[in-house]
Amino acid sequence: MSAVDVIDRPRTWPSAMKGRPVSGSCRFCGTSFRHRVVDLGMSPLCESFLRADQLNQMEPFYPLHVWVCERCFLVQLEEYVTGEEIFTDYAYFSSFSDSWLDHARRYVDQMIDQLGLSTKSRVVEIASNDGYLLQFFVQRGIPALGIEPAANVAKVAEAKGVPTIVEFFGVETARELAAAGQRADLILGNNVLAQVPDLNDFVGGLKILLAPSGVVTIEFPHLLRTIDGNQFDQIYHEHFSYFSLYSAECVFAAHGLPIFDVEELPTHGGSIRIYARHAEDASREITDRLIDLRAREAEAGISTLGYYEDFESRVREAKRKLLEFLIEARRAGKRVVGYGAPGKGNTLLNYCGIRTDFVDFTVDRSPHKHGRFLPGTHIPIFPPERLWDARPDYVLILPWNLKTEIMEQLAGIREWGGQFVVPIPEVTVHP
């Protein structure tokens, strides 16, 4: 297949909506919502960890209702809370996961190789967090710029030698950078696309910031895996949209950035990394693996409403099974504690109604979370050492996407007969 086929192939995508998304309608194409995928009830913002002095105050809860657009099949939440409310003091520091750092290092090596990046190139990462990834470009002498809305994590990136501007990315920021001669040969965004409230402004910005023969790579959890793997805890307010390759192609093509390649990755329970380029750039051909994944999504029915129909009943059954396990364990006098305090854990615990009646406490490697409490459920967060003092019978792994790494790190709990519990796709005990 030639590069021209990418542009001219007889597939028509909906066009992007102009202006800010309107409540109750698709944030890409503006079609009104009519088809609900799942209702996870009311939940607090998953990153709003509480201090002890906040425990007696009211906590805002927002609906967690997921919709699928019948026109572009973008799965999404309404924007109940603005991005500014969520992301300006974000407690998540990417560098606290070893496997995520390895993932970043491998990506940097691969891109330098594949795109022939040099000291004359320019790399921009959107939502660059604490510089966990760009530091590897900087180490190789490749000019890099991070764009990160949370000032506290951006400060950590600067300390690592990663130049970072504190901004939300969109058309306006892209125009300023392009005017300053900063168009990029590589723009990347890992786990940010889901978090963009104004999707068309974001992807429109990519079009402006990308150099004529540049490449955009974007990683996000793959909707096919989220639905097939019953990963309902990937759904939280910070994630406004849930993409398939199909819906991502709709969005990017509408902004003149056709996707020409895709990689499937094991991260976050199954992600994809899409590669896009300017529609005007005929130098990159679409790959067989893109054609293959399109076919597999089509076969699963991802662009039909039927595909989304039984998700809610499977989610409810997973909740019943997890509660059944916990009730039985606690009734038998077993001690259960958590591991990790990820966003997904808060969806799981709030949806299932699991508080300190089931899980005594959780532990996390990030010192920023120690001494705080999980939102909604008020489960206290301690440093990992606490596990060894408490000697629990069960450790419930909340970031189950890292279960292999965590079970290795905590192999010592077996000394006292401790076992691991993984909640997704449904509760499983690992002796």
**In terms of DSSP bridges, do strands 336-339 and 394-397 run parallel, antiparallel, or are they unpaired?**
parallel
- Taking the complex as a whole, the smallest distance from the CB of residue 250 to Zn ion amounts, in Å, to 8
* DSSP-derived 3-state class of residue 33: coil
Restricted to residues 384-413, the positions that interact with Zn ion (CB under 5 A) are none
- Whichever of 71 and 105 has its CB closer to Zn ion, that residue is 71
- Taking the complex as a whole, the smallest distance from the CB of residue 31 to Zn ion amounts, in Å, to 5
Distance CA 46, CA 62 (A): 11
Regarding 72 and contact with Zn ion (CB under 5 A), the answer is yes
> Across the strands, what pairs with 349?
none
Regarding 71 and contact with Zn ion (CB under 5 A), the answer is yes
Regarding 248 and contact with Zn ion (CB under 5 A), the answer is no
Regarding 207 and contact with Zn ion (CB under 5 A), the answer is no
- Taking the complex as a whole, the smallest distance from the CB of residue 225 to Zn ion amounts, in Å, to 21
Regarding 29 and contact with Zn ion (CB under 5 A), the answer is yes
- Whichever of 193 and 215 has its CB closer to Zn ion, that residue is 193
Regarding 69 and contact with Zn ion (CB under 5 A), the answer is yes
Nearest CA to 7 out of 295, 247, 289, 279 is that of 279
Nearest CA to 218 out of 255, 177, 184, 259 is that of 259
Regarding 112 and contact with Zn ion (CB under 5 A), the answer is no
Regarding 341 and contact with Zn ion (CB under 5 A), the answer is no
A 10 A CB-CB count for 53 gives: 7
The region of 65-73, 163-171, 288-296, 410-418 touching Zn ion under the rule CB under 5 A is: 65-73
- Taking the complex as a whole, the smallest distance from the CB of residue 24 to Zn ion amounts, in Å, to 12
- Taking the complex as a whole, the smallest distance from the CB of residue 200 to Zn ion amounts, in Å, to 11
Restricted to residues 266-285, the positions that interact with Zn ion (CB under 5 A) are none
Sign for the CA dihedral angle at 180, 150, 106, 401 comes to negative
> Across the strands, what pairs with 218?
189, 274
- Whichever of 76 and 231 has its CB closer to Zn ion, that residue is 76
Contact status, residue 222 vs residue 272, Cβ threshold 8 Å: yes
Restricted to residues 411-430, the positions that interact with Zn ion (CB under 5 A) are none
Contact status, residue 384 vs residue 364, Cβ threshold 8 Å: yes
- Whichever of 254 and 427 has its CB closer to Zn ion, that residue is 254
Question: Residues 154-157: contacts with CB within 8 Å, 24+ apart?
Answer: 154/128, 154/130, 156/93, 156/95, 156/130, 156/131, 157/128, 157/129, 157/130, 157/131
Regarding 223 and contact with Zn ion (CB under 5 A), the answer is no
Member of 16, 17, 26, 37 binding Zn ion (CB under 5 A)? 26
Distance CA 419, CA 426 (A): 16
Instruction: List residues near Zn ion by CB under 5 A.
Output: 26, 28-29, 31, 69, 71-72, 74
